[in-house]
Amino acid sequence: MSNVVDSQRVVSFIRDLYKEQDFIPLHAPIFKGNEAQYVNDTLASTFVSSVGAYVDKFEGAIKKYTNAKGAVATVNGTAALHTALHLAGVSSSDYVITQALTFVATANAINQVGAIPLFVDVCEQTLGLCPISLETYLDEDTFLNEGGECIDKKSGKRVKAILPMHTFGHPCDLDALIMIAKKHNLVVIEDAAESLGSFYKGRHTGTFGDYAAISFNGNKIITTGSGGMVLTRSLEDEKKGRHITTTAKTPHPYEYVHDQVGFNYRLANLNAALGCAQMEKLELLLKSKREIASAYKHFFVDTDYQFVAEPKNCRSNYWLNAIICPDEKSRQQMLEFTNNGNVMTRPVWTLINELPMYADAPCANDLPISQFLSKRLLNLPSSAIVE
């Protein structure tokens, strides 16, 4: 079958799936619940900014759903990652191990605390941080000093944390990653920006590491317009997180007293109101997204394109459906045909170590799987369908 025929079949399939002859986006939000009512409540109350009942309510809803001990709402997912890295004690010149195959915000947050991303490869099964690649680097190229800190042999820099990312909502191999991190005294921060509603062995992603960050950007499974959440394993860290994200202001009826340099990162009540309404629909959205994923999976079964299915022992939210094309040329052809035909598809991100500002950041080892995937992965329209 020629690539053009493949592309035509894909476009027809997607048009049938979405029952849409006009433009089909990659991922559109759905507001069919109490969104307008809750947002209007905030307008009526005048509490539209960082103080208000919906922010606390939204944090409570996320905690209840994920079973996380602590949750701190932030202005976006990048701010949540920055806060998590700060709480983890990552400091200037530390190395933080992450994957090159991720959205740029993962590396930007590492940079924001003055640390340096150190890239390891991903697994083809999970699209996330590869435990074998991670362990090889840590066993061969680092040692624990007398204080128990993990030190990179070549540069002498401290390796403080690992930051795995659950790509497109597919959970990483968390058991293995946590075990390796423990052995080398590393903090674990999960970039769960894309994985609200994804579970690893029955437990929600973002509750395995010491900290995690979720995003509620307009393109995510639920949205607050712009927003994020830090998940913590203790109430003490939740308290610290809330303090640092609210300009480190100490409680006082009228005085302005701030006891450290803080961030102005608290999610606004207006945005949290949207989030509360969206959370009420999460199960419905997840159901639809799994049905869409199942339809894609069946469609691609007898083709040269491999549908990216959820990893073993996982339940993915299928935030963005993806296929692995046979080669770079066939992906390019698919991209051009679908986008020219008003059906939005996208290639996976450029590898972070290939972006100019991170070109000098170290790679722990070769990145063959990341390179293979970066030339072949393609995202398909994935919006939920809710009548």
By CB under 6 A, name the binding residues for ligand PLP.
76-78, 81, 102-103, 105-106, 165, 191, 193-194, 215, 217, 228
- When the beta carbons of 76 and 374 are compared against ligand PLP, the nearer one is 76
Strand blocks (E) in the chain:
70-74, 95-99, 116-120, 142-144, 150-152, 158-163, 187-191, 199-200, 203-204, 211-215, 228-232, 306-307, 314-315, 321-324, 346-347, 377-380
**Could you tell me how many helices (H) and strands (E) the chain has, helices first?**
12, 16
Nearest distance, CB of residue 345 and ligand PLP, angstroms: 17
Nearest distance, CB of residue 379 and ligand PLP, angstroms: 12
CA-nearest of 270, 303, 323, 385 to 19 is: 385
Nearest distance, CB of residue 344 and ligand PLP, angstroms: 17
Which residue's Cβ lies closest to ligand PLP?
77
377: three-class secondary structure by DSSP: strand
180: CB partners within 8 A, 6+ apart? 131, 134, 135, 138, 162
Nearest distance, CB of residue 33 and ligand PLP, angstroms: 21
List phi, psi (to 5°) of 119. Answer: -95, 135
Nearest distance, CB of residue 191 and ligand PLP, angstroms: 5
98: three-class secondary structure by DSSP: strand
332: CB partners within 8 A, 6+ apart? none
- The secondary structure element, H or E, covering residue 376 is helix 368-376
- When the beta carbons of 35 and 191 are compared against ligand PLP, the nearer one is 191
- When the beta carbons of 60 and 218 are compared against ligand PLP, the nearer one is 218
Nearest distance, CB of residue 165 and ligand PLP, angstroms: 5
Nearest distance, CB of residue 348 and ligand PLP, angstroms: 11
- When the beta carbons of 105 and 367 are compared against ligand PLP, the nearer one is 105
- When the beta carbons of 343 and 352 are compared against ligand PLP, the nearer one is 352
Spatial separation of the C-alpha atoms in residues 217 and 15, rounded to whole Å: 26
Buried b (16+ CB within 10 A) or exposed e, 235-252: eebbebbbbbbbbeeeee
Nearest distance, CB of residue 94 and ligand PLP, angstroms: 19
State how far the alpha carbon of 272 is from the alpha carbons of 33, 56, 140, 294, in Å: 14, 8, 46, 32
* 18's tokens: 């979405």
- When the beta carbons of 10 and 163 are compared against ligand PLP, the nearer one is 163
Nearest distance, CB of residue 367 and ligand PLP, angstroms: 17
Task: Write the single-letter amino acid at 367.
Answer: L
CA-nearest of 308, 251, 325 to 123 is: 308
- When the beta carbons of 193 and 324 are compared against ligand PLP, the nearer one is 193
Nearest distance, CB of residue 93 and ligand PLP, angstroms: 23
276: CB partners within 8 A, 6+ apart? 34, 38, 54, 57, 58, 61
List phi, psi (to 5°) of 324. Answer: -105, 115
- When the beta carbons of 3 and 78 are compared against ligand PLP, the nearer one is 78
- When the beta carbons of 70 and 228 are compared against ligand PLP, the nearer one is 228
- When the beta carbons of 18 and 349 are compared against ligand PLP, the nearer one is 349
